[in-house]
Structure 1
Amino acid sequence: MECKGEEPKFDDDLATSLSGLPSRIVAGSGFHGFKLHVKNSGSHAYQRVDLGVFAAQIDEDDFFVDTSHLTLQYKDPATGKWTGISLDENDEGAGYLGYTGIKAKESFSVEMRLAVDAKAPAGLGFAISIGMYADDEGNCVSSGDDGYYEFDILKAGSASGDVNDSRPQGGSKPLPAKPVGDKQIEPEGRLAETGAGSALPVVALVGGAAVAVGAGAVFAVRRRRATGSGTAAADTAV
């Protein structure tokens, strides 16, 4: 089932964000923890919201997206076990974490961690978070924020120096197109109140080609802007 409508829809009451993601990661330095935050600032509940996080490395010269050196996991709030998230750009369910219901004015966080293996070349990485649900008309609606997070990948053995948290960058992030994935999560260890039925689509958060094409376009535009303003392209990295 495809999401209806060609133009993406956004809900400013629903927000996802990341915190604690390092601005620099040395290849081969193990896992680095951060958090996915989900917030409903509205007075209405969401029956089902699909959540995802995607991370990748990108070559700043040809904008080639590579996920082969990255490992992304989240800690299942119900079991406390670390669970892998697919980063295969050929996987329609890449980036998919799970779904849950969200009460009015509710917010919660999910622990995440990211590792870059020792063979990764130095370069630029990025991470995005997405929340999405189906409205009454079958349209897929995305969380209102549109930021993504950059981090430098340093070659193995490098000194990381002082490392700050990556901050959200402006600009568009790739959005999903196909409904894929169906795993319930229980934020904060509670049973998610989804009430989900077969009529609700299951949303692929950041699948495959959308990420590769969308991310390349984002970085290409940013680099052109930086070059046009006389700023070195490398200065766009956090």
Structure 2
Amino acid sequence: MSASASEGPVECGGDEFKTDKNLRTSLSGLPSKIVAGSGFHGFKLNVKNTGDRAYQRVDFGVFAAQVDEEDYFIDTSHLTLQYKDPASGTWKAISLDETDEGAGYLGYTDVKAHESFSIDLRLAVDKSAPAGLGYAISIGMYADDEGNCVFSGDGSYYEFDILKAGTAPGDPGNAKPQGGKKPLPQHQPAGNTKIEPQGHLAQTGSSSALPAIALAGGAAVALGAGAVFVVRRRRNADSGTAA
């Protein structure tokens, strides 16, 4: 049985949402430290379906931001996030503008039963960025047969340190997934970009009638997650424990 989308736009209201434990998104290869002005750093969005269901359409998003831990200010103005279009091999922008309803939106594709694939990403921090804390999140979403929005089951986010331009990062290693659930926003149609990951065959006749459910409000997801982990870090600092 395939997960199908209902006709027309789908909205997800408030805190009432569903998650699908079989559909997972994650990030890998993101450095735990990025020096401002050091150019692009490659990493991957990983998608994994561990279940027996096929999904006609799943919309994906990735968002990144910088956080000022003193006043909780969220800033995306120094960051540039891109994904590599698997079909053309060209790099395309993922909006990080908090005022853009399509912020964080990457694209959609079908996901077959027991299928896994990855999409190349890269992130740059411009040389004028202040030192501080950054984070990135990934998300997947589809509409079920009743028109409800269902989100990928993994709620992890990834922290990385932004170092002042000219700093030697040493061997930073990769950012590790942080536990806990990221808040999920209300969703409106915002993006409708079809992607075909490498080695992934297009599903014929599947998408034209499906609603353009997207990750509008991706910024809201990320901003909420940022507030959550900043508070966690502050509490841990106050109690003398490591984050």
**RMSD across aligned positions (CA):** 1.7
Does residue 146 of the first structure (1) align with residue 158 of the second (2)?
no
Equivalent residue, structure 1, for 2:118: 109
Name the structure 1 match of 2:196. Answer: 186
Q: Which residue of 2 aligns with 1:136?
A: 145
Asked if the contact 2:10–2:213 (Cα under 8 Å) also holds between the matched residues in 1, the reply is no
Q: 1:20 aligns with which of 19, 22, 29?
A: 29
Amino acid corresponding to residue 147 of structure 2 in structure 1? G
* Structure 1 residues 90 and 5, CA gap change in structure 2 (3 angstroms): closer
- Separation in 2 of the partners of 1:216 and 1:19? 19
Stretches of 4+ aligned residues off by more than 4 angstroms: none
Choose from 202, 207, 225 the match for 2:213.
Answer: 202
Partners of 2:216 and 2:179 lie apart in 1 by: 19
In 2, the alpha carbon distance for the partners of 1:148 and 1:76 equals 23
Residues 5, 121 of structure 1: alpha-carbon distance in 2 compared, 3 angstrom cutoff: closer
Q: 2:45 aligns with which of 15, 32, 36?
A: 36
Matched, 1:3 2:14: no
TM-score (normalizing by structure 2): 0.89
In structure 1, C-alpha distance between the alignment counterparts of 2:216 and 2:152, rounded to whole Å: 11
Q: Structure 2 regions of 5+ residues with no counterpart?
A: 1-8
Identity across the alignment (%): 67
Q: Which residue of 1 aligns with 2:88?
A: 79
Structure 1 gap segments, 5+ residues each: none
Offset of residue 203 of structure 1: 1.8
Cα pair 1:134 1:201 within 8 Å, conserved: no
Instruction: Give, in angstroms, the shift of residue 63 of structure 1.
Output: 1.1
How far apart are the structure 1 equivalents of 2:230 and 2:31? Answer: 23
Whole-Å separation in 2 of the counterparts to 1:46 and 1:52: 16
Aligned length: 232
- In the other structure, the counterpart of 2:5 is none
Contact kept? 1:176, 1:203, Cα under 8 Å:
no
Confirm or deny: 8 A CA contact 2:24 2:47 kept in the other structure: yes
Partner of residue 90 from structure 1, selected from 84, 87, 99: 99
Calculate the TM-score normalised by the size of structure 1.
0.91
